[in-house]
Structure 1
Amino acid sequence: MGEKQYLLDRTLETWKGKRVAIAVSNEHSFTGILEDFDEEVILLRDVVDIAGNRAKELLVKIDDLNWIMLL
């Protein structure tokens, strides 16, 4: 798990401040700016979901993410 976590940390660090798309629990998709992260959660700001609903921030457990991509 150490190498996997290291790759995740290294990648997310380079993506901080950039717009990303995420899928949560195979049901919901969101885009937002990657604000911060730790080993348990990621924080997005200026969030938009697939239906166009907007939110200021979204906190998601990393274990609930199916994928994340840089836009």
Structure 2
Amino acid sequence: MPGQKLYPRATVKKIVKAHSNCNVSKNADVMMFLDYMLFMQNLMKEAAIEAKKGGERGITARSVRKVTADSLARFRG
């Protein structure tokens, strides 16, 4: 689907502005999306490591839950 955006930028900006009562700069939504993607990548990597240590065959909800707090702490800013 050429030309289709990954997410509606204007909607994201409106939501952030409504929750934070601050103006959002031109490319802030792009930076938030990239930060989210880095967080998810880190979360899955850590969950895979935890799953291997626990002897599981793949990533499970339990392994994700175990590493969520550490990953969130690493990305708070």
TM-score above 0.5, yes or no: no
Greater C-alpha Rg: 2
Which one has a larger percent strand, Structure 1 or Structure 2?
Answer: 1
Which one has a larger percent helix, Structure 1 or Structure 2?
Answer: 2
**TM-score, length-normalised on structure 2?**
0.29
> Whose RCO is larger (CA < 8 A, sep 6+)?
1
